[in-house]
Amino acid sequence: MAAIELWRKVLEGSDARVPRTLQDDLPELLWLYFMGVVLFWVYDPTPDGSATRNAVACTAPLVVRAIGLTRLPILRGMVDDLVALINEVRRVFTAPATDPGRRP
């Protein structure tokens, strides 16, 4: 997926210190955040998109802080749970079409 590779390059060019357990999955998390912003924008009821701009202005600093907090040892378990959740979602959506547990 080209978008995730782009996020990977953004992270490589930044001075953000990301825990090893999150380094491989953070580009995808950022891409998912971006997709959430796009979805918000699609349903933004304001004619000039101001609600989307406000949402981004409020959530972007939270994302930056959350990334910074992942370095704290007390949050290591939460980071591991988040990575496990990402891997489970990835497994579900990359399952072959012949998987009997997969809905059409």
Looking at the structure of the chain, the number of domains it has is 1
Does 100 map to a domain? no
pTM of the model: 0.72
CATH number at residue 72: 1.10.357.10
**How many residues in the chain?**
104
Does 99 map to a domain? no
Residues 65-89 pLDDT 10s: 888 888 888 888 888 888 888 888 8
Range of the domain at 32: 2-93
- In this structure, which amino acid lies at residue 89? V
- Burial environment of residue 26 by CB neighbours within 10 A (0 to 12, 13 to 18, 19 or more): buried
Helix ranges (H only) for the chain are: 2-12, 20-23, 26-42, 50-69, 76-93
CA 61 to CA 23: how far, in whole Å? Answer: 19
